[in-house]
Amino acid sequence: MDMKTVRQTAREKLKGFCRVCPECNGKACAGEVPGMGGLGTGASFKSNVEMLAAFRLNMRTLHGAKNPDTTYKLFGLDLATPILGAPITGNVYNMGGALNEEEWAEAIIQGCLTAGTLACTGDGADPAMYNSGVDAIVKGQGRGIPFIKPREQEEVLKYLRRAEEARVLAVGMDIDGAGLVTMALKGQPVGPKTKEEMKEIISSTSLPFIIKGIMTVDEAEVAIEVGAAAIVVSNHGGRVLDHTPGTAEILSEIAAAVHGRIPVIVDGGIRSGTDVLKMLALGADAVLIGRPLIISAYGGGAEGISLALKTMTNELKQAMILTGCATLEEINMDVLL
């Protein structure tokens, strides 16, 4: 199996939902929500890609970083790479349903584990979607992170109990899912959370809790205040609000404010190991990958996902060699022009 074959197969299986464009930049699929595009004009999706692409790298080759170390530790677990699978659901209405939710969840969990890393699983308009992800994590011996949509408090607490029973590594909430069109269409109420509501949720579990959907310094501070164990800088792939900044545009400011107190993870427009290097240079500790892994799963299942992640990790390692970074900790703003 190679990535060319994976992409060809995915193009057939995703027909009518994703064009598997040569460059996944949100232009061809603007406004296609449900679907794979960005909301409205698609500006937020496009900004993710464009802002990341605007950063250039300083090439350095007079150094001793000949065999860089890409390993990363998250919540005590050693990973081969700082590249993780993002939480995703909605295979029928977003991707056409060639994979059902159970097949998708098992592919992302097993593919990530084979590549030496972790996947997150998602929550969606059908509550069974969340359970499919948790079930797949159980098969992966708890090595995965389920994310819960910002549902009503009682529902969130029920979903938390399910995660605890499954003995997962950590749990999260994609607060950026507040107001999701796909949830609204299916009668599943979601919305913003107050500080008090987040404190109630986080204090009710002993699991490390990740808040995904942080796009400002003030909300990063709130996340720390309410007890988040990590944050994800994310605009939900540009799928919830038109005309937000790209995540690469605001990442360094947020990372500087957090100042190492908790891990800062980021997603949005990351398509290669070089993109991963840029995000780490801007202050991220790790990254989440979404659309590229959808294509890989539809084109090659768990094996396709593992191949994509190993390819990106090898690209990251090569980029580290050519920028003089022997470890992830050595990647900083000096890498960027």
Kindly report, residue by residue over 285-308, the tens digit of the pLDDT. Answer: 999 999 999 999 999 999 999 999
Domain count, the chain: 1
Secondary structure of residue 121 in the 3-state scheme: strand
- pLDDT value of residue 181: 74
Tokens of 23: 């460059």
Q: Which amino acid is at 121?
A: T
Percent of the chain with pLDDT strictly greater than 70: 100
Within-domain flag for 23: no
Q: How far apart are CA 122 and CA 133, in angstroms?
A: 7
Rg (CA), the chain: 18
Q: How far is CA 256 from CA 251, 262, 265, in A?
A: 9, 12, 13
Within-domain flag for 29: no
- Mean model confidence pLDDT for the chain: 96
Question: Residue 34, class by beta-carbon neighbours within 10 Å (0-12 exposed, 13-18 middle, 19+ buried)?
Answer: middle
Q: What is the mean pLDDT of residues 245-263?
A: 98
Within-domain flag for 34: no
- pLDDT value of residue 205: 97
175 and 150 Cβ atoms separated by less than 8 Å:
yes
Q: Name the helix (H) or strand (E) containing 171.
A: strand 171-174
Within-domain flag for 25: no
Percent of the chain with pLDDT strictly greater than 90: 95
Write out the residue range of the structural domain in which residue 109 sits: 3-18+39-328
25 and 46 Cβ atoms separated by less than 8 Å:
yes
Within-domain flag for 337: no
- Summarised one tens digit per residue, pLDDT across range 49-93 is 999 999 999 999 999 999 999 999 999 999 999 999 999 999 999
Within-domain flag for 283: yes
120-121 vs 83-85, strand pairing mode: unpaired
- pLDDT value of residue 189: 86
Cα within 13 Å of Cα(122), Cβ side:
22
**DSSP string over 3-58:** HHHHHHHHHHHTTTT----SS--SSTTTT-TTTTS-STT-HHHHHHHHHHHH--B-
- Summarised one tens digit per residue, pLDDT across range 153-196 is 999 999 999 999 999 999 999 999 997 777 877 888 899 999 99
137 and 144 Cβ atoms separated by less than 8 Å:
yes
Within-domain flag for 74: yes
CATH number for the domain harbouring residue 234: 3.20.20.70
